[in-house]
Amino acid sequence: MSTVHTGGVVSIGECMLELSEPAGVSGDAHLRLRFGGDTLNTAIYMARQSVPVSYITALGDDRHSDWLIEQWRKEAIDVSHVERLPGRRPGLYWIKTDEQGEREFAYWRAEAPVRQLLDDRDRVARVQAAVAGASFVYLSGITLSLFDDVAWGVLLELLSTASDAGVTVCFDGNYRPAGWVSKSQAKERFESLYPYLAIVLPTFDDERLLFGDESPETTLTRLASYGIAEIVVKDGPAGCLVGHGGDQFWVAVPKAITPVDTTSAGDSFNAGYLAARYLGLAPVAAASRGHNLAAVVISHRGAIVPKASMKHL
């Protein structure tokens, strides 16, 4: 029987302007302006699967922030929870993709307005109301890395309250060392959040880097010890390990693919999986849906692929 959800999905995080440099060329004459951010990528791919999605972040009041909001509206994202901070402008990253589809990043984001999202009582109240009205809330390790200790405490309390009220809190660790003060800070925040999570979608390579896990099975066992009911450990071309209801399943990728661009591979898998779960599919079927969507995404350049490429899904 399909689960009936009365609220939509709320995704929390940062989206930045993207300047992309194609493989094999260099110089500003070849740059292309787009946008990207892990939780925003997942939100868009969920919205394209007919899931109602809202995005929570903060932008400035400049023309580039206007442009971002316009693009998100075109993707059927609810932008009513995007805060606008006067005199500010969004973060920026420069991406270079090599011939094998692997990426190199440079960031300008230290003063991005999203870092002040939870510094104001009125903004916090609006975020809290949005989260309370959702069925699913989605965030990532990058989301956790955005905030100072005070704001992090606010976010943790907000998510604890939501979890206690029955909201399904979903998390992808997506550990990026450059975004953190230290590895110990990242571990502390992850472990503080785990007790309030219902669905976790880690990538094994990230978990090995942060926690020293020896295998996807080790990752699943460690996370299950916190009482997390549903765990999906992504392991690249090997597929993913799903833990649910005390059972474990390996779900293989449908076929081997030579990637054009691995940007948003994990984000799109998460979108396929969470959309399927939101719509009532079982975890193994949801994992297959995640693999299928990720296969399409890594076959195209950029974080957000053309809608037409997803029609067969």
User: What pLDDT does 177 receive?
Assistant: 96
Q: Quick check: 71 and 34 in contact, CB under 8 A?
A: no
- Highest-confidence range of 23-32, 36-45, 105-114, by mean pLDDT? 36-45
Region of poorest pLDDT, from 12-26, 116-130, 252-266, 290-304 = 12-26
pLDDT category of residue 214 using cuts at 50, 70 and 90: very high
Examine the pLDDT at 160 and tell me if it is beyond 50: yes
User: Is pLDDT at 170 greater than 60 in this prediction?
Assistant: yes
Which pLDDT score is estimated for 39? 98
CA 159 to chain centre: 16
Q: Residue 287's pLDDT is what? A: 98
Q: How confident is the model at residue 4 (pLDDT cuts 50, 70, 90)?
A: low
Residue 306 and residue 296: Cα distance in Å, rounded? 10
CA-to-CA dists, residue 228 to 69, 135, 246, angstroms = 34, 17, 11
Residue 312 is predicted with a pLDDT of: 78
pLDDT per position as a tens digit, 9-36 = 999 999 999 888 766 655 555 788 899 9
Confidence at residue 172, expressed as pLDDT on a 0 to 100 scale: 98
Mean pLDDT, range 118-126, rounded to an integer: 98
pLDDT at res. 3: 58
Domain spans of the chain? 9-14+38-87+113-310
The CATH class given to the 9-14+38-87+113-310 domain equals alpha beta
Q: How confident is the model at residue 255 (pLDDT cuts 50, 70, 90)?
A: confident
Q: Catalytic: 267? A: yes
Decide if pLDDT at 99 tops 90: no
Residue 278: closest CA among 51, 55, 76 = 51
Please, what is the average pLDDT of the chain? Answer: 93
Pick the most confident of 26-30, 71-75, 96-100.
Answer: 71-75
Q: Is the pLDDT of residue 100 over 70?
A: no
Going by their DSSP bridges, the two strands 230-234 and 240-244 should be labelled as antiparallel
**Residue 27 burial by Cβ neighbours in a 10 Å radius (0-12, 13-18, 19+):** exposed
Is it the case that residue 294 has pLDDT exceeding 80?
Answer: yes
> What's residue 1's pLDDT?
35
Q: What is the mean pLDDT of residues 80-105?
A: 85
| Mean pLDDT on 211-218 | 98
For the entire predicted model, the pTM comes to 0.93
Q: Say what percent of the chain tops pLDDT 90.
A: 77
In this predicted structure, the answer to whether residue 174 has a pLDDT above a threshold of 80 is: yes
Dihedrals φ, ψ of 10, to 5°?
-110, 125
- Give one word for 166, left, alpha or beta, with left for phi > 0 and alpha for psi -120 to 50: left
